[in-house]
Chains A and B, each alone.
Chain A
Amino acid sequence: MTVLLELKSVSRQFGGLNAVNDVSFQVSQGEILGLIGPNGAGKTTLINLITGVHPATSGRILFDGQDITKMRAHQIARKGLARTFQVVQPFPKMTVLENVATGALFAGGATGLKDAFAQARQHLEFTGLGDSVDKLASTLTLAKRKRLELAKGLAMRPRLLMLDEVNAGLNSMEIDDALRMIRTIAERGVTIIIIEHLMKVMLSTAQRIVALHYGQMIADGVPDAVLRNPRVIEAYLGSKYAAAHSGSSA
Chain B
Amino acid sequence: MSREWTSKLLTRFAIAGAILGSAVVAGQAQETIRVGAPLPMTGPLAPEGAKQKKGYDLWAETANAKGGIKANGKTYKVEIVYFDYASNTPRAVQGAERMITEDKVNFLFAPFGSGASKAASSVSERYGIPTIAATASSAEVYDQGYKFLFGTLTPNETVTEPIANIVTSKNKDVKKVAILARNDLFPLAVAQQMEKSLKAKGMEIVAFERYAIGTMDHSAAVTQMRAARPDWVYATGYVNDLILIRKQMNELGLRPKVITMVAGPAYREFAEATGPLGENISSVAWWHPAVRYKGKDVFGTTEAFNKAWDAKYKGEADYAEASAAAAGAILQLGIEKADSIDPKKVRDALASLDVETFYGKVKFGPSGQITSLEPPVFQLRGGKTVVVWPEAVKQGELEFFK
In the complex, A touching B, CB below 8 Å? no
Q: What is the interface of chain A, defined by CB distance below 8 A to chain B?
A: none
